[in-house]
């Protein structure tokens, strides 16, 4: 009986740990633009409103480290800049609040050289919030793909 109780506890613990693991989304797309030209679009922390089809407006905080995004169709997402690396054309940010089905969200977007011109890489790690993991991942995959396609013209 002890063995069965211990085994059951381990199964439950294992299941809870599996659902607590971070999810990942990423997209990499190439562009004919030079890395500097693509970074000029991406590297403006509040410029997302000019290139992401789901974002209507971006308001930058006075210190430039927080952006408030108005989502087309309603909703507001607040994001904080965590790390900026202009020399390597990348930045890392987190979502502080918003309607997206994610928690503990950390993402890095970067631009590098590619034989065709440049390559955009956008990757994030997060936990699902309020929905199954698959639904959260599907949403974030869609966010990344829509933004990357718009930026690169793919």
Better-predicted residue by pLDDT, 19 or 97: 97
> Please, what is the Cα angle at 100 between 62 and 66, to 5 degrees?
10
Separation of alpha carbons 143 and 137, rounded Å:
10
Question: Residue 83, class by beta-carbon neighbours within 10 Å (0-12 exposed, 13-18 middle, 19+ buried)?
Answer: exposed
Does 106 reside within a domain? yes
Separation of alpha carbons 142 and 16, rounded Å:
27
Q: Is 80 helix (H, G, I), strand (E, B) or coil?
A: strand
| Per-residue model confidence as pLDDT tens digits over 60-119 | 999 999 999 999 999 999 999 999 999 999 999 999 999 999 999 999 999 999 999 999
Domain range enclosing 110: 22-152
Does 3 reside within a domain? no
Q: What is the pTM of this model?
A: 0.84
Does 15 reside within a domain? no
Q: What's the total number of domains in the chain?
A: 1
Does 112 reside within a domain? yes
pLDDT of residue 20: 56
**Does the structure show a pLDDT above 50 at 2?**
no
Does 97 reside within a domain? yes
DSSP 8-state assignment for residue 87: T
**Does the structure show a pLDDT above 60 at 14?**
no
Q: What residues contact residue 29 under an 8 Å CB cut-off, 6+ apart?
A: 119, 120, 148, 149, 151, 152, 154
């Amino acid at each position: 009986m002890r063995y069965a109780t211990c085994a059951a506890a381990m199964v439950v613990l294992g299941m809870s740990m599996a659902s607590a693991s971070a999810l990942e989304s990423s997209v990499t797309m190439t562009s004919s633009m030079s890395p500097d030209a693509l970074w000029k679009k991406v590297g403006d922390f509040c410029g997302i409103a000019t290139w992401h089809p789901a974002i209507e407006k971006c308001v930058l905080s006075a210190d430039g480290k927080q952006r408030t995004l108005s989502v087309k169709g309603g909703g507001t997402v607040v994001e904080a800049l965590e790390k900026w690396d202009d020399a390597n054309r990348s930045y890392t940010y987190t979502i502080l609040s918003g309607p997206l089905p994610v928690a503990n969200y950390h993402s890095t977007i970067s631009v590098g050289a590619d034989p065709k011109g440049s390559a955009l890489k956008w990757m994030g790690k997060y936990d699902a919030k309020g929905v199954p993991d698959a639904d959260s991942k599907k949403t974030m995959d869609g966010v990344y793909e829509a933004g990357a396609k718009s930026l690169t013209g793919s």
